[in-house]
Structure 1
Amino acid sequence: MTLAPSHAVDGGPAAARRIADDLFASAAEVDSAGRLTRARLDRLADAGLYGVSLQGDFADLGDVVAALAGGCLASTFIWLQHLGTAPAVAASTTPGMADRVPALRSGALRAGVALSGLRNGPMQVSVEPVEGGFRVDGTVGWLTGWGLIDVVQLAGRGPDGTAYFLLVDAVPDPAVEVRPLDLLAIQASSTVSVTFRGLFVPEDRLIRTEPVDTWAAADARGSALNGFLALGVAQRCARLLDDDWTAEIDQARDDLLAAADQPDLVPAARARSAALAWLAAGSLMAATGGRAALAGGHPQRLAREAALLLTFGTRPAIRAELTDRLHP
């Protein structure tokens, strides 16, 4: 796990687990309120977690994601969206872009990410080079942290099919329509859909361009990382059950680690972790009994989070694997 030099995390995943336990103490309250504050995310920034790089040790990074997801999934969603932006900006050849890296790595400047517009489908985002910059049109169906982030790493397709990555300010604009999403869980994450209608982005906000196929190949690693969100929920449920789920959790973790470098293994690994979270949350509900159905408690919140993670960031192959795994 790579960290900004001035923001070292003492103990890596172990420290993340301690922070996660602090977040967990108020996670039910945050969930009930349906919102969290920027100050809550300061806890992660103060620990150096905004300086974590996706290019570091994948096992350590996965363990940090799992630990935090088991503490407060809403906070983890917002933080996780940030991680790919700092290294992308650092590698940019656009003059002045790298000046933003220290603020991104410290968490003084916080980023969201909107890359789904590169995928084929009705919500594809187009980027057209124009004089002095770029015109952006299209809809991003899922953007986490609106109102809690400062910038967005936005991706779209150019006229020739090239992928454009832009750093866009997360502020109100007449060319930007923001629609809050009413989610089953993590409502506190301030997740929205965003429609761009002729948004002008100055040319100095270009992070990079690359072939879409190159991006798609690298995207598989991030898809494997998303599996650690479900693993973290499963781990927290196991702790609350005070039961030994070590073998199942270790197998799911091993599968995700293997999938990080072997894209063909991603669907099965993601399905295993999501199904495990669903089973662990169901077991916690059953073991708790009638109290689990009451709003404001941890079991029902974790069950809703596990249900959400059955759908988050899935592709047809992952959904097919999940359906097979969950079929009696």
Structure 2
Amino acid sequence: MTAPHPLVATAQALADELLAPHAQQVDQEGVPASHIEAIRRSGLLGVSAPKEYGGAGAPDAVAREIMEILAGACCSTWFVQTQHHTPVKMLAKSELPVRERLLRPLATGELLAGIAFAHVRAFPRVPVRATAEGEGWRFDGRVPWYTGWGLNDVMLLAGVTDADEVVFAFTEAREQPGLRPSPPMRLAALTAARTVSLDLDGLRLPEESVVLRAPQDKFALVDRPRNTNASPAVFGVAYAALGLLEQAGETGPARVLRGRLDEVRRQVYALAEHPVPHERVEERLALKTRSYELMRAATSAAVVAQGGRAMDLGSPAQRLAREGLFLLVQGQTAEVRRAHLDALADF
């Protein structure tokens, strides 16, 4: 057996010593800056970043394992930091000037990035319009969800032009002319992740802030696999719930569910390594919905094992069940929703 990647060991230590012991408090009070500072120092923010820019350049399998560990320990903290990795990957592939300005500080954890582009998946509806103006771009509209407000340093924002081109650009994650955040949202789960909406009214960003411009249809082809594959966070939360079930002495149900979860996880990750990420979509969606079923079974079993105590807001079983509900719709697209509803109808 080979030793785990050093960053996997780092993530496990962070989960065991900081995240899991404080997960109930974070759920009620919010992700503290100290948690984010610990993640910055850990090197985890650079797991997928190129080594020449201060990152680890680790394989995707390592990044997936780290996601599982963090999500199972404290889903709110995981959700804040997971926003960071897409901007890093996008910068690593970019040949535009913003790469040299931002990739190293993001890879080393000097800066933490958030994302404001999930709304692009609503096309042909365009919640945020990008318009070429002078030597830069103007953004108008409303970003429905932005996580990590007050914790992130920069955000990756996207809008769609009249010519159906998607424009991605970086800006500071703060209130500024043309950008106004809503009050923090009160959510059934992950309120702790500091999610707001953003009103954009003539936010102007220079051309040198742009990291990518792509026709909407080409971007959708690349983006589609991100949502048809099951998130490692689903497995992290499910395994955490099975841990509670075992602690309650219910080793029989836990063993059966763990075996099923292990097998689905193996299949999901094998497909994630498929060389053509936009192929075998139906199989990916079927495995994703099966992952949801097993997560729901695991978190429900943890609640049942705890009985009435699980209704207390201090119960980890009830927190994991709510986090599971959140993961059912996190990053949801119309295609994923249809597949999930069809699977539920056949249950």
State the TM-score, normalized to the length of structure 1. Answer: 0.90
Superposed CA offset, 1:143-196 (max 9, x none): 110110011111111221111110111111231231232211111100111121
**1:85 corresponding residue in structure 2:** 87
Tell me which residue corresponds to 2:149: 146
Q: Which digits, 9 at most, give the CA deviation of each residue in 1:26-61, with x for residues without a partner?
A: 00011111x122220122222211002288533222
User: 1:127–1:156: 8 Å Cα contact kept in structure 2?
Assistant: yes
SS in 2 for 1:193: strand
* 1:320 shift after superposition: 3.0
Tell me the distance in 2 between the aligned counterparts of 1:62 and 1:10: 12
Q: Give the structure 1 partner of residue 52 of structure 2.
A: none
Residues 288-314 of structure 1 show CA distances to partners (whole Å, capped at 9, x for unaligned) of: 111111111201111111111122112
Distance 1:123 1:286, change over 3 A: farther
* 224-233 vs 200-209, which moves further: 224-233
Report whether the alignment pairs 1:227 with 2:227. no
Offset of residue 96 of structure 1: 5.1
Residues 1:109 and 2:111 aligned together: yes
1:32 and 2:28 correspond: yes
Aligned residues: 319
**From 17, 25, 42, the counterpart of 2:12:** 17
Letter paired with 1:247: G
2:186 match: 182
1:224–1:259 CA contact under 8 A, matched in 2: no
- Structure 1's 255 and 209: CA in aligned 2 closer, same or farther, altered over 3 A? same
Q: Cα RMSD between the aligned structures?
A: 2.1
Shift, 1:284, TM fit: 0.2
How far has the Cα of 1:83 moved from its partner?
0.3
Deviations 1:235-281 (A, max 9, x none): 10011111223322222312322443335133223212222211111
> Identity over aligned residues, as a percent?
31
In the alignment, is the contact (CA less than 8 A) between 2:230 and 2:291 conserved in 1? no
Unmatched 5+ stretches in structure 2: 50-56, 247-253
Distance 1:271 1:39, change over 3 A: same
Moved beyond 6 Å, runs of 4+: none
| Structure 1: gaps spanning 5 or more residues | 1-8
2 CA distance for matches of 1:98 and 1:42? 24
Contact map agreement 1:231 1:252 (CA 8 A) in 2? no
The whole-number CA distance in structure 2 between the counterparts of 1:140 and 1:46 is 30
How far residue 76 of structure 1 moved from its aligned partner, in angstroms, is 0.6
Aligned residues of 1:48 and 1:106 also touching (Cα < 8 A): yes
Give the conservation status (yes or no) of the 8 Å contact 1:178–1:195: yes
Structure 2 residue aligned with 1:44: 39
State the alpha-carbon separation in 2 of the partners of residues 301 and 251 from structure 1: 25
Q: Is 1:97–1:204's contact at 8 Å kept on the other side of the alignment?
A: no
**Following the alignment from structure 2 to structure 1, what is the Cα–Cα distance between the partners of residues 287 and 198?**
30
Q: How many angstroms apart in 2 are the aligned matches of 1:102 and 1:295?
A: 40
| C-alpha distance in 2 between matches for 1:90 and 1:255 | 28
Amino acid at match of 2:20: F
Return the offset for 1:121. 5.1
Is the Cα contact below 8 Å between 2:230 and 2:287 reproduced in 1? no
The letter for the 1-side match of 2:45 is Y
Question: 1:176·1:194 contact (CA, 8 Å) conserved in 2?
Answer: yes
Alignment partners' CA distance in 1, 2:263 and 2:5: 27
- Distance change (3 Å), C-alpha of 1:214 and 1:296: same
Correspondence 1:207 to 2:211: yes
Matched, 1:124 2:124: no
